[in-house]
Structure 1
C-alpha cells in the first residue's frame, strides 16, 4: 500500500509537469487508466518494461519489498522528470528564441526607422546653402506663376506694395541699397551664391526648375533667379557713391514709353543727377521693361514717382532753375549760325515730338477741341526763351524737364520754367532729321548740364580761394 501511494504521488508530479508543459495527451491517458493504475501501477506507468514488472510481481509473491524496483522506479521517475524539464527547457528556449527573434525584428525595425529618420533629418539638414535653409518647389507648385503674374500688374504693385526683380545684377543692387526681399526663386545653388546671402536671411528661398523660370521670365536669356521685393521707398534706401553727384534733377513729364523712361533713368544715374521726379502721367517706374532698360538705376539715385506739379516743386531746392527740352528749333545751317528765339508753340509740339505730325488732321470731338483751344490760349501767355544746349544754362542748382514723344511737355512744365526764369533747350539738327528720341535728347542735355555745373563749381572754388587769399594778405 505504501508503494502504491508512492507511485501515485510520483505519477501526480509527472502529470503536473506534463500538464504544465502543455502535453494534454498524457492527462487523457491518466483518466483512461485510473482503474488499471489502482491494480497494476507499474505496468500502467511503464508498459514496455516487462522485466521490471516481472521483478515487482516476484517480490510481491515473496512478500518482500524490492529496493531495486523502488530504485528503478525512482530512476524512471527522475528520467520522466528530466524529460519533462527538458521539454520545458526546450519550449522555454524556443520561447526565448522567438522573443529574441521578435526583439531582433523590433530592433531591426527600430534601427531601420531610426536610420530613415536620420536620413530624413540629414536630408532636411542638407537643404541649405552655406547655412541658409531653402525649400524645394514640388511639381505643380503655383507660387512662382502666381507671384510673377500678379507682380506684373501695376494695380497689384501699388496696392500690395510688391515689385518683381529678375537677374543677379538687379537683385544685388537692390539688396546693397537696403531693399527688403520677400521671396527669392532660384534654379541652382551657384545662382544663389552670386547674391549677398547675408542680406537674404529674412527672405523665403525656393528652389525651382529652370524651365519654370524660363517660362515666366521676360528676359531673352534668363539668369535663373527671380525675386519679390517690398516696394522700395526712396527715403529709406541708401545710395552708394553719392559724392560724385551734382545739383541736377531730371523731371520726366508724361513719359509713357517704358524703354524711354528706363533709358532716361540710366542716363540720370550715369550723369550723377541728384534725383529723378516723375509726374502722374508717366509709366510706372517699377514696370519690368523699365527695370530692364534702367539697368539698376532705381537703386543708384532717389526716384520719386507719381507726383503732381505742386509736389514736384516741393522736391526741388528753393533756388533752382527749371529748363525744358524743346525740339522745335530751326534747322542747323552752319557751324556759326544759331537759331533765333521763336514764339511758344502748342503743348503737343513741345518736347521731342515731330513738328510735322498730323495732329490737326485727326477727327476729335467738339469738347476735346475746346479743351485744346483753352490750352493753346494759356500757352500763348507763356514766354520762355530758347537757348542752345551747349550755351551756359547750368550755373546753379538746375532741373531739366523732358516730355514724352507722344504728349510732349505740359503747360504746367512751361509755367514752372517761366517762373524760375528757365529756358527752352534745343539741340540743332540737320534739315533731313525731324526729331530726336526723348531718351537720347535727355542723355545729351544731362551730360552737358553736368559738365557746365562742374565747371561752375570749379570756378566758384577758385574765386572763393582767391578772395580768401586776398583777405588774409
Structure 2
C-alpha cells in the first residue's frame, strides 16, 4: 500500500499523534527513526503500521524483522508524508504507529528485592527519557511516573529513552496509592535531599529499594515526601548547588547496581 498525499485522512491522524490529546483519545503513539522502530519490533510492541519513505526504500536493518511480525501494515509514503508526521527538523526515513499497552504496576510490585525509580513531577521530557534509559542500563526493575511528569509517549521523551522504554516496565500511576503498597511489600522508599542523613555511598542499597526523584525546581511533593523512609545526599565537592534530576537518578542507580553486585555485561 502507498500513501503519497500529506492531506490523506490517515496521514492527518498520524500527524495528530504529536499531540497528547490525540494520543490519549486513540490510544496510540508514534516512534520515529530506524533505531526506535527496530527496538519496538524486537520488543514485540503492538505496532499497528510501519511507514517508510518510498524513495529511500525499506531500511535494511528492519527487513529481517518484518517477516516475524504478524498483522502489521507496511505502507510506503512520500517524503512529504514523513515530514508531516515527524517531530524533528530532519525527519527519519521511517516511523511506526504503536498501540499503547497498559503496563500494570502489579508486575513491579510483585518483584522481590526490586530496584525501582519513581518520578514525581519531573516535567522535562528529556529528563524523563534519560532516567528511563539509565534505569534500563543499571538493570532496574521498572520506572513509575507519578502525576505532573512529562508524558511517556511525547516524541521527545520517546527519543530520549533511545528504545529503553521497550526494555523494562514503565508505568504511569498515582503515587499516593502505589507507594504505600510498595512499602507494605517491604520496599524502602528513598529520596535525595541536601539534608540527607546518609551519603549515597554509605547508604545500603540491598533489598527492595524505590528511589524517588522530584522536579528540579520543587523536589518531591509534600504528599510524597510524607511517605519517604529515608533521605540520602549525593556528596558534591564543587560549587554547584544541585544536580539535574536525570544525573541524580543515574548516580543513585549506578551506585545501587555496584552495591547489589550486578556488574552488567
The 1:189/1:393 distance shift into structure 2, 3 A limit, reads same
Is 1:201 the equivalent of 2:70?
Answer: yes
Conserved? CA contact 1:281–1:306, under 8 Å: no
How many Å separate the matches in 2 of 1:303 and 1:256?
Answer: 16
Q: Distance in 2 between matches of 1:309 and 1:200?
A: 39
CA contact (8 A) 2:146 2:175 kept: yes
CA distance in 1, matches of 2:164, 2:116: 14
Cα 1:203–1:431 shift into 2, 3 Å: closer
Partner of 1:436: 243
Secondary structure, counterpart of 1:234 in structure 2? coil
**Cross-structure match for 1:301:** 168
**CA deviation after TM superposition for structure 1 residue 199, in Å:** 4.1
Structure 2 gap segments, 5+ residues each: none
More strand by share: 2
Work out whether residues 246 and 450 of structure 1, in 8 Å CA contact, stay in contact via their aligned partners in 2.
no
**Counterparts in 2 of 1:104-123, with a 5 A limit?**
none
Q: 1:152 to 1:246 in 2, by over 3 A?
A: farther
When residues 143 and 166 of structure 1 are mapped into structure 2, their CA distance, relative to the original with a 3 A threshold, is farther
Deviation at 1:429, TM superposition (A): 2.0
Per-residue CA deviations over 1:186-234 (Å, capped at 9, x if unaligned) read 0143327625112443122221112431343223543311111111233
Matched residue SS, 1:189: coil
The match for 2:213 is: 402
- Call closer, same or farther: CA 1:393–1:319 in 2, change over 3 Å: same
How far, CA to CA, are the matches of 2:224 and 2:155 in structure 1? 28
1:190 aligned counterpart, secondary structure: coil
Change (3 A) 1:441 1:140: closer
Aligned residues: 254
Partner-residue secondary structure (3-state), 2:246: helix
1:147, distance to aligned residue in structure 2 (A): 2.5
TM-score under structure 1 length normalisation = 0.50
Measured against aligned partners, the alpha-carbon deviations of 1:85-133 in whole angstroms (never above 9, x if no partner) come to: xxxxxxxxxxxxxxxxxxxxxxxxxxxxxxxxxxxxxxxxxxxxxxxxx
Q: Could you tell me which residue of structure 2 aligns to residue 323 of structure 1?
A: 190
- 2:5 and 2:80 in contact (8 A); partners too: no
* TM alignment of 1:130-141, pairs within 5 A: 135-139=1-5, 141=7
Tell me the equivalent position of 1:150.
16
The Cα shift of 1:271 comes to 0.5
Deviation (angstroms), 1:389: 1.0
Structure-2 separation of matches of 1:213 and 1:317 = 48
Within 5 Å, give how 1:11-50 maps onto structure 2.
none
Aligned match for 1:210, one of 73, 79, 95: 79
Corresponding residue for 1:411? Answer: 222
Q: Which residue of 2 aligns with 1:119?
A: none
Q: Which of the pair has the greater relative contact order for Cα pairs under 8 Å at 6+ separation?
A: 2
**Aligned position for 1:172:** 38
Secondary structure of the residue aligned to 2:75 is: strand
Question: What is the rounded CA distance, in whole Å, between the counterparts of 1:441 and 1:160 in structure 2?
Answer: 35
Could you say which residue in structure 1 is the equivalent of 2:58?
A: 190
Q: Distance in 1 between matches of 2:83 and 2:134?
A: 29
Distance verdict in 2 for CA 1:392–1:139, change over 3 Å: closer
Q: What is the TM-score of this pair, normalised by structure 2?
A: 0.86
Aligned equivalents of 2:154 and 2:259: distance in 1? 33
The CA RMSD over aligned residues, in Å, is 2.5
CA contact (8 A) 1:246 1:453 kept: no
Secondary structure of the corresponding residue to residue 117 of structure 2: strand
Partner of 2:258 in structure 1?
Answer: 451
